[in-house]
Structure 1
Amino acid sequence: MTRAKIKTETTEKIKVRDLRSALRRLEHMPGQLLETNVEVDPSAELSGVYRYVGAGGTVKRPTKEGPAMIFNHVKGHPGKRVAIGVLASRKRVAALLDTEPENLGKLLWKSVDHPVPPVLIKGPALCQQVVHRADEPGFDLAKLVPAQTNTPDDAGPYITLGMCYAAHPDTGVSDVTIHRLCIQGKDELSIFFTPGARHIGAMAERAEELGQKLPVSISIGVDPAIEIGSCFEPPTTPFGYDELAVAGALRKEPVELCNCLTVEQRAIANAEYVIEGEVLPHVRIKEDQNSHTGYAMPEFPGYTGPASENCWLIKVKAVTHREDPIMQTCIGPSEEHVSMAGIPTEASIYGMVEKAMPGKLRNVYCSSAGGGKYMAVLQFQKKTASDEGRQRQAALLAFSAFSELKHIFLVDEDVDCFDMDDVLWAMNTRFQGDRDIITIPGVRCHPLDPSNSPSYSASILDQGIACKTIFDCTVPFSQKDRFVRARFLEVDAEKWTGQREK
């Protein structure tokens, strides 16, 4: 038995159910985890380092896809570690979810359709091994939680991978989502709600109508299945669907929750950190009230977004954590965002088109260049003459359901939709701009795209409106015989190289 095979079998025996087991699995995968004992400053320096090591995504070049990192010595936070980039590679995500990279979207689609709801555990939870209450002397969020700034322009230290969990004040239905959280004071966090985009925002609005505070928990450092599952959006997971059930389906066992200690809410029981608090009604603050930079933090399109004038405020009641906690963070425009936002979108598009026209859509890829949200590649198979035009129908279905999509590339089944060089090859040899571009102007898209602005074009009526575009790089069915790729002999190259094809 080869050493590589022994390594793989050891890796597979590590059951991933929290951040620590995920990191242990990565330790057994060559080149997937880098650990350093050199002290790092969480104020811009930590992200500055990882920008070069493995950020990828839409981060300013030079950057690349590389290993996840653990910083063992964080300035100002003795005894605490920070992990970054855990999901900043499609290969890593697949390994942590026990599947293949090209199968991720389909796996998540099946998981949404077969949810396993979370369960409440009794007794002490791992996330509550150490407890800090806000009414105790010396309580200070900035000292308890090693939150980072991505750049020197950031409004303040951000919690970028906090799983926000809340329940609707009328129905009690729970939901988990990731929001932009900035430390504003010793016991205060700002939370940014994108209008109409997240369920917890609607819960906060309803609580405000009732004059109530909204209890919320923020779990940091969790099972990657939870982080991926939390990024699903309507219509795939409509209001009332708890995305923790997606993680339960992925793991074939429920996510365990515990009761919070200071608010009427639940938290993820094996998280590294949990922040307990309440979203206050009728209170809004400036996101950069302490720094006055005018900016928030780098967002997934690759630009540093403006600071919000109307962030909601969370009054923190407690911070709990495991012994020797590991803070988990990410860079906003990195490949990590592509994984978390893009793979659920792939799953959603695949599921919708599969229901409308079974067997036609082979796969979907939401590429790094679009931050996992703006661009999708649909690999479509035309089996009969009557399939001509259905590829464009599939693109329209995707656009109608997912407003944040701006560009869709359509390719044939012989094109690798996960290889953008191959996609551009199809564009160069199977596409004519005067007949294969379909534009849909004046459609609501995403407000963080700086080109979606009236200042960019007079044709844009409001911030966040865009011209959605389909690039049809598929061969007309009647001409498929003219576009056959060079036929190489199929062989097993391992005989000559000793390396199994990836």
Structure 2
Amino acid sequence: MSQPYDLRKVLEELKELPGQYHETDIEIDPQAELSGVYRYIGAGGTVKRPTQEGPAMTFNTIKGFPGTRVSIGTMASRKRVGKILHHDYRTLGKLLQQSVEHPVKPVEVTQAEAPVQEVIHLASEADFDIRKLLPAPTNTEEDAGPYITMGVVLGSDPEKNMSDVTIHRMVLEDKDTIGMYIMPGGRHIGHFHKQFEALNKPMPITINIGLDPAIAIGTTFEPPTTPLGYNELWVAGALRQEPVQLVPGVAVDELAIARAEFVIEAEILPHETMQEDINTHTGKAMPEFPGYTGDANPAVNVVKVKAVTHRFDRPIMQTTIGPSEEHVSMAGIPTEASILGLVDKAIPGKVLNVYNPPAGGGKLMTIMQIHKETEADEGIQRQAAILALSAFKELKTVILVDEDVDIFDMNDVMWTLNTRFQGDKDVIVLPGMRNHPLDPSELPAYNPGVIRYRGMSAKTILDGTVPFDMKEHFVRAQFKEVSDWQKYLD
């Protein structure tokens, strides 16, 4: 019987793929240096240039944290994600859509079967300090502190009828305190926390770090695709066709992911908040997916740590750079799946594929490939765009292209907007809608009188599809099909 999937198994598979993985024994400082180095090697996304798509990396020698390692960039390439999930990178959205529809639920294992509980540190111990146990990096020198950027939070409602997983930005504030930003609306962990607050009780959670990328990608699904009561660990199980293994916590009444590298067991306190940058007072939090450093939140939730467990053999801290290509993979591919699922129900067969590119951080932009079969399909492309914008409030821009356009090639997409597009008739603007509050252009000062509150935005549809009755005027140059062209490279 083969070993269940976890981060270590994935890294071993990546080692067999040329150019996809690199590790180093050179000592590196997790405070700004690690992210600063990986920015040049493989971050990509909306990170400040110069950057590039490069290998995933493991740093084996972490300054101040002997015996631990840091992994970064596992998903910082869509093609690499395809290799990790053993699927064509161009149809990952469809794979995830199918996984949502055919879930595989987790199973519970014992502590003896859970590698993550090989070593246990209780917060009640006199020398306990999470800041000395966890090599959590900072992305920049002005960050509010060391951040957990790839921690999957697992929690349940007070009656234990429902559970869910989400990813939040979490900063280490002191020896047993974490500041967690729970974005208002849409996150089920936030919903459960409100239920605990109504009872004036702390909410037990586990923060799971160092995971199979299938878990991280599945975790980022949101409503309406995964409604309240749907635990996204079911998606990860479907992707691997094996259930995620869970184990009871040692210090809180909640389950943890058994094959994680680290688990933080903790409680979200009711009715308590704190200043996110209480230790630095920089006014900054950490770099976020649009490419800018987010403002420190004046009132993040207070999380009290009860225990940290980890693997015995050099546990791996998994981290990411906020604006990197890795965020695009985690946030963008599930959104593609959600859009495909929605439009397939409403207008089946008309949207062939969807891509959320790095230019939008995986959230702000989508490219939709449209199939027009008859004249009755004219206009259906704009309905598809409106469907996507209405269901996924974080989408800001939708680009519509024909089926002969490679949606994964931005040169091909921009070619469409230069040769099949007229700005005075093919731009549709929907003002005054909600969007992601991390977009810095969504401020009242940017567009006074129209943007009333932060997080409002105009949504834009760019229709680069050819009118059905004019298709014969837009046929691309027809080159001879040669099936054995690769022999000329031998």
Same-fold call, TM cutoff 0.5? yes
Alignment of 1:423-502 (within 5 A): 423-458=413-448, 459-491=450-482, 492-498=484-490
Equivalent in 309, 312, 317 of residue 327 of structure 1: 317
Q: Is the 8 A contact 1:14 1:24 kept in 2?
A: no
Distance 1:28 1:168 in 2: 42
Deviations 1:51-95 (A, max 9, x none): 000000000001111101111110000111100000000011111
C-alpha deviation, 1:356, in angstroms: 1.0
Distance 1:460 1:313 in 2: 31
Distance 1:493 1:211 in 2: 69
| Residue 156 (1) aligns with residue 151 (2) | no
| Residue 227 (1) aligns with residue 219 (2) | no
C-alpha deviation, 1:123, in angstroms: 4.0
| Residue 55 (1) aligns with residue 47 (2) | no
Distance 1:142 1:379 in 2: 47
- What is the letter of the counterpart of residue 87 of structure 1? M
| Residue 361 (1) aligns with residue 351 (2) | yes
Distance 1:15 1:444 in 2: 45
Alignment of 1:78-477 (within 5 A): 78-124=66-112, 125-170=114-159, 172-323=161-312, 324-458=314-448, 459-477=450-468
Equivalent in 4, 10, 16 of residue 28 of structure 1: 16
Q: Is the 8 A contact 1:16 1:25 kept in 2?
A: no
- Which position in structure 2 is the counterpart of 1:10? none
Distance 1:462 1:493 in 2: 56
Taking structure 2 as the reference length, the TM-score comes to 0.98
Deviations 1:291-323 (A, max 9, x none): 111110000000000001110111100000011
Q: Is the 8 A contact 1:360 1:382 kept in 2?
A: yes
- What is the letter of the counterpart of residue 270 of structure 1? R
**Cα RMSD, aligned residues only:** 1.1
Distance 2:275 2:31 in 1: 20
C-alpha deviation, 1:122, in angstroms: 2.6
Distance 2:25 2:278 in 1: 34
SS at match of 1:373: coil
C-alpha deviation, 1:359, in angstroms: 1.1
Q: Is the 8 A contact 1:184 1:290 kept in 2?
A: yes
Equivalent in 56, 59, 64 of residue 71 of structure 1: 59
Distance 2:128 2:21 in 1: 33
SS at match of 1:54: helix
Distance 2:4 2:162 in 1: 27
Percent identity between matched residues is: 59
Distance 1:290 1:14 in 2: 46
C-alpha deviation, 1:16, in angstroms: 6.8
Taking structure 1 as the reference length, the TM-score comes to 0.96
- What is the letter of the counterpart of residue 105 of structure 2? P
Distance 1:304 1:405 in 2: 20
Which shows bigger deviation, 485-494 or 126-135?
485-494
Alignment gaps of 5+ in structure 2: none
- Which position in structure 2 is the counterpart of 1:8? none
Q: Is the 8 A contact 1:204 1:279 kept in 2?
A: yes
Q: Is the 8 A contact 1:165 1:218 kept in 2?
A: yes
Q: Is the 8 A contact 2:111 2:117 kept in 1?
A: no
- What is the letter of the counterpart of residue 468 of structure 1? K
Task: Check 1:486–1:54 CA distance in 2 against 1; reply closer, same or farther (3 A cut).
Answer: same
C-alpha deviation, 1:170, in angstroms: 4.0
Distance 1:37 1:14 in 2: 29
SS at match of 1:181: strand
